[in-house]
Structure 1
Amino acid sequence: MTLFAITLPGLETTLAEEARGLGFEVTGTEAGGVTMAGDWSEVWRANLELRGATRVLVRIGDFMAFHLAQLDKRARKFPWGDVLRPDVPVRVDVATSRKSKIYHAGAATQRIEAALREEAGMTIAADAPVILKVRIDDNRVTISVDTSGEPLHKRGHKPAVGKAPMRETLAAMFLRQCEFNGTQTVFDPMCGSGTFVIEAAEIAAGLQPGRSRRFGFEHLTTYDPNAEALRRTTRLRAPDARFYGSDRDAGAIDMAQANAERASVDDLVTFSAANAGEATPPAAPPGLVIVNPPYGTRIGDKKALYPVYGRLGQVLRERFSGWRVGIVTSEGGLATASGLPFLPDGPSIAHGGLRVRLYRTDPLP
């Protein structure tokens, strides 16, 4: 089968690297995701183990349709029962392209929903646990089922979040782009609810990101309860590295600590209340400083942030010799204000209605 792991545009290559490292058969990348080949056990494993995917789709079939009557006829003959259960409601999402003669997504949705109700005995519901993704491109109707359910950044073990939180999937991809492999110390001097620190600790320990949650594939006819054997709640490794976070907001530190305990990595992480402008290296080998500072667009005044970035850069240059640095921001000018020797810019990534980039350095002199 063809699996399609969705990620944010600009992160396709990074997700492909992660998938190959986990032993998936990557067959290519395309805008917004990575294609892989595999059976249903690989679908289950992809949901449990991929840290950078936002959803995993399975393409269950396709056919040509040049007008709505043809779409209606072929949708009624489609073997929905091979994958969908009549006792589980479904939702249909249709996207059309300008290259297709069927261009009205609403009309196409109605035809497919009618086929599901009248031929397969399905119930259509806006809050259904199973979602069909239908794309009509160049007159080819491609039907996929969303096997994830809720987006995969919802790990199931992070109840507390602060302002403008970094999504776990994005944090995992930025850590990988900073060459983090689980063996290096990680320090976030503006850690908020602890996403970077906890994600790094989980990677180091070999914990599955999806170990604490349920998935859409559990509602399909193809689901085998024996697949629960793929879910692993214990660590693969006992990491030597340790992971540190600080924040000037004591409430954020309390949230981060609670999240670390819920994720079962509290023995690997240390959180403390401190101002980033006075940060000092933890008592550990040099590793990676990664930080998602305020951008000024949603939190605070952007002009007031230039001195903040300047002071952060000064502290890192003076005190963190041998450490790599990764800074996530929507403003190139703010990154420049840090005075850090950044490598060429990474791709622009959509995050919370903004466009952000990861600015990276080699080990600081």
Structure 2
Amino acid sequence: MTHDQDFEIFLATAPGLEPVLAEEVRLKGFKRPATVPGGVTTRGRWPEIWRANLWIRGATRILARIDAFHVTHLAHLDTRARRIPWADTLRPDTPFRVEATCTKSRIWHSGAAAERIATAIRETLGAPHDPDAEVTVMARIDHDLCTISIDTSGEPLHKRGFKEEVNAAPLRETLAALFLRQCGFDGTEPVVDPMCGSGTFIIEAAEIAARLNPGRARHFAFERLATFDAAAWQQMREPKVRRTPPARFHGSDRDAGAIAMSRANAERAGVSDITEFRQCAISEARPPEGPPGLLIVNPPYGTRMGEAKSLIPLYQALGRTLTTHFKGWRIGLVTADPKLAHATGLPFLPPGPPVPHGGLRVTLFRTAALA
């Protein structure tokens, strides 16, 4: 594949959030995004790959799909893998690794499939194979159709490069961005998180409002490919004029350590001037001065038997505080247990599907503006 060829780009996300990611991809100007299980497809060239990694907040990784063909046995896979013009994409001096998955196919051994592809690349291109390499060739064999992709992101995209400090079970930035979008947040209103932990929701909202690119401070695997143009990439990532948001973003937590973490993370992200963090209990949470906006919260939800029941008083207290003091505000609440959400007594809209997070399945519960 050459620099000028149009190809399919796959943006992965948590199952259940594909339509939310598709809307973000569409609004960022990418061609005809379509939802597929586990993500969104669009089409473009290598600059669109770079732009997607730099701009898109909700994707967990971005794959360049460079070939697809039917295979029925390993010798066939070996032959087809050797026909791929690997030098158009990979560099002979850069280590690579191969990951393969096989589903409902006559080739069923993923390890053997990966080994055949790795040998084909090594022998036709001369690049060294390294199981720990950053450049990853991904092969998916599904119903005998083998799709070959390059992982252009490297480290997962929730790793923005700012959050050095986290608390237990932190919400990933990519998930936070999609939940904010589901709640209708567009950067023009205040956001409050009364259980802010390490500050993920507040920092993500502040970055969206200031129009800061999520990938502005990190390295990507595509920088090690043959298609990479360092000068064009440098020009693309040059910071544009930062917008001064019309609102500020407020986090609170009863834990002093969480507040210190949030402040440090916001400072590294460059949004400390538009964020505020203070230590207080849920019952003391109050809206900031000015118009109402969005309150979004990811309370503890317990993972072991009996834990959820002990959390009901916390959710009841949260519901009382929001009902009493946050009239006019929309609420977003993330939890793994619908019973805990309903313990708040809040008038939730019908929820979307549960999505995987940290070994659990969590659901975003939303309200309209509280009366």
User: Do Structure 1 and Structure 2 share a fold, with TM-score over 0.5?
Assistant: yes
Determine the C-alpha separation between the residues in 1 that align with 2:65 and 2:126. 21
- Say which of 90, 95, 103 aligns to 2:101: 95
Q: Confirm or deny: 8 A CA contact 2:26 2:33 kept in the other structure.
A: no
| Matched residue SS, 2:208 | helix
TM-score by length of 2: 0.96
Q: 1:55 to 1:299 in 2, by over 3 A?
A: farther
Amino acid of the structure 1 residue aligned with 2:156: P
Determine the C-alpha separation between the residues in 2 that align with 1:261 and 1:192. 15
Q: Confirm or deny: 8 A CA contact 1:207 1:235 kept in the other structure.
A: no
Give the equivalent residue in structure 1 for 2:144. 139
Give the equivalent residue in structure 2 for 1:249. 255
- Say which of 119, 137, 145 aligns to 1:114: 119
Determine the C-alpha separation between the residues in 2 that align with 1:205 and 1:77. 47
| Matched residue SS, 1:241 | coil
Q: Say yes or no: does 1:192 pair with 2:197.
A: yes
Structure 1 residue 37: deviation in Å?
A: 0.8
Amino acid of the structure 2 residue aligned with 1:154: K
Q: Deviations over 1:150-175 (max 9, x none)?
A: 00000001111111111000000000
> Which sections of structure 1, spanning at least 5 residues, go unmatched?
none
Amino acid of the structure 2 residue aligned with 1:121: G
Determine the C-alpha separation between the residues in 2 that align with 1:133 and 1:139. 15
Q: Say yes or no: does 1:5 pair with 2:5.
A: no
Q: What does 1:203-214 correspond to in 2, within 5 Å? A: 203-214=208-219
- Write out the 4+ residue segments of structure 1 that deviate beyond 4 Å after TM superposition: none
| Matched residue SS, 1:286 | coil
- Say which of 275, 292, 301 aligns to 1:295: 301
Give the equivalent residue in structure 1 for 2:21. 15
Q: Confirm or deny: 8 A CA contact 1:88 1:129 kept in the other structure.
A: no
Determine the C-alpha separation between the residues in 2 that align with 1:305 and 1:331. 11
- Say which of 326, 345, 358 aligns to 2:364: 358
Give the equivalent residue in structure 1 for 2:348. 342
Q: Deviations over 1:121-178 (max 9, x none)?
A: 1211121010011011222211000000000000001111111111000000000000
Q: 1:244 to 1:36 in 2, by over 3 A?
A: same
| Matched residue SS, 2:361 | strand
Determine the C-alpha separation between the residues in 1 that align with 2:195 and 2:245. 23
| Matched residue SS, 1:142 | strand
Structure 1 residue 278: deviation in Å?
A: 2.1
Q: Confirm or deny: 8 A CA contact 1:277 1:308 kept in the other structure.
A: no
Give the equivalent residue in structure 2 for 1:154. 159
Determine the C-alpha separation between the residues in 1 that align with 2:123 and 2:202. 51
Structure 1 residue 118: deviation in Å?
A: 1.6
Q: Deviations over 1:65-97 (max 9, x none)?
A: 221111111212221111001111111011111
* Identity value in percent: 58
Q: Deviations over 1:181-230 (max 9, x none)?
A: 00011000000110000000000000000000000000000000121111
Q: 1:217 to 1:181 in 2, by over 3 A?
A: same
Q: Say yes or no: does 1:176 pair with 2:184.
A: no
Q: Say yes or no: does 1:219 pair with 2:224.
A: yes
Q: Say yes or no: does 1:26 pair with 2:32.
A: yes
| Matched residue SS, 1:364 | coil
Q: Say yes or no: does 1:310 pair with 2:343.
A: no
| Matched residue SS, 1:305 | helix
| Matched residue SS, 2:128 | coil
> Which sections of structure 2, spanning at least 5 residues, go unmatched?
1-6
Q: Say yes or no: does 1:267 pair with 2:273.
A: yes
Amino acid of the structure 2 residue aligned with 1:335: A
- Report the aligned-residue RMSD: 1.3
Amino acid of the structure 2 residue aligned with 1:122: A
Determine the C-alpha separation between the residues in 2 that align with 1:299 and 1:322. 36
Determine the C-alpha separation between the residues in 1 that align with 2:108 and 2:310. 48
Amino acid of the structure 2 residue aligned with 1:222: T
Give the equivalent residue in structure 2 for 1:74. 80
Determine the C-alpha separation between the residues in 1 that align with 2:152 and 2:92. 17
